[in-house]
Structure formats: C-alpha cells, structure tokens
Amino acid sequence: MGKKNGVGLDFNPTLFSHPKSSSAFTLSSSDKNIRNFWIENVKACRKICAYIAKEMPIPCVNNIWISDGLKDIPVDRLSPRLRLQESLDEILKEKYDNLIDSVESKLFGIGTESYVVGSHKFYMGYAMQKGISLTLDTGHFHLTENVADKLSALSLYINHFLFHISRPIRWDSDHVVIMDDTLCSVAEEITRNNIIDKVSIGLDFFDGSINRIVLGQLEPEI
C-alpha cells in the first residue's frame, strides 16, 4: 500500500509486552541472556526494515525505542546506560543501504517514573557520536519544553531527525494529532531554517483501535 501510494514506511522494533521484558529491562538488562535475546530481536527487525527500504523508493527509518527504567530512584544510573550503549553498538554493526537508524527517548512512563535508561540526553549524545538519526516525539518531553527549539540547535550536530507528530496528554503521547501551537512551531522551525531534507515526519500508529485515515477524511456536518 505504501509503495503504491508513494508513502514512506518506517519500522519500530517492539521491545515490550513479552515475558523477557517483565523485569523492566531489555537492551540494558544486567542479565546477559535477556540482553542478547533483545539484541538479536532488533537485528532481525533491522533486516525486515532493510527489505522495506529495498522495495521502496523512500528510505526506511528503523526507530529504536525501549521502555527500560525504574519506578523508584536507582542507586546506579550509569551501568544500565553502559549496557544499552554496548547493545546498540552490537545491533548497528551491520550496514544496510537506504536504511536510516534512529533512536527515540522518553521522559518517563508508567513504571519508569523516576529513571529512564534511554533518556533524551543519552540518545542525543549517542546519535551525535555514531552519526545516526535522532527521533523527536513531541509527546515524550515535559509539557513545558519547547521541542521546536531543540531542532535548530541539534541540526548543527545531527544529520537526520525522525519527527513523530503527536501531542503530550498529561505525560505521554497522544497520536491523534491536532493543529496546536507546538506542531505549528516545529513546522516553522523546519521550514524557516531550511532543514526539510534533514527531517522525516512520521505518524506513530501504535494504536490499531483508531482508524485515523477515516477520521482524517470526515467532513464536518453543516
């Protein structure tokens, strides 16, 4: 369908809702067997993504997001991030044509209120160091943060962004998009700073219960 309509398709490896994610740690787990399981999972997902990229005229973004974190304050914040760094290095060893690898942060979530391993600062530094894409989801930042301002600053150091169109509802994403101030500000930053070629804009359809295409085509009653 995407190929027929000239619409790009991205891919998001799923690292949750599985018995091996029950400990709240996947790629950053202290259990090597758990960690290796998820490393191999993401490697396999990159192969799927590479196939999509091969079949499509538009590059395919493989977007890595993990839910690793803790509800309460940890004693050791560094070790899980070192393990995540090592896992990502292993995952990204193999190179594919037309495939863009990206990493996505989150502020916090249910069960990870005090500590998220894959924070914005972690992934920002990793993307800069490795020369990969950085995903910015406007629903994954504090409600008062100006996500638009991050684009112009980070564009000096990062060559590509995946921008997830969403909106924060209390603390997390709501991917039913509305034309709000944040969305307009991001669009203005992209166009005014002429970084359109650096940004892929995506709709994160993780909730299959909502038919967004039909909703988008409905006309208001008169």
Q: Which of 10, 68, 101, 106 is catalytic?
A: 106
Is 160 one of the annotated active-site residues of the chain? no
Q: Chunked in runs of 10, what are the mean pLDDT values of the chain (222 residues)?
A: 77 88 92 97 96 88 94 95 98 94 89 92 97 92 87 93 83 74 91 93 70 52 48
Is 174 one of the annotated active-site residues of the chain? yes
Which single residue is written with the structure tokens 């619409």? 7
CA angle 2, 165, 146 (to 5 degrees): 155
Query: pLDDT value at position 141?
Result: 85
Query: pLDDT value at position 79?
Result: 98
Is 164 one of the annotated active-site residues of the chain? yes
Pick the CATH number of 2-217 from 3.30.1330.90, 1.10.510.10, 3.20.20.150, 3.40.50.720: 3.20.20.150
Do you know the residue count of the chain?
A: 222
Is 180 one of the annotated active-site residues of the chain? no
Q: Which of 10, 68, 104, 189 is catalytic?
A: 104
Is 18 one of the annotated active-site residues of the chain? no
Distance in angstroms (rounded) separating the CA atoms of residues 56 and 217: 25
Query: pLDDT value at position 8?
Result: 79
Query: pLDDT value at position 31?
Result: 96
Is 172 one of the annotated active-site residues of the chain? yes
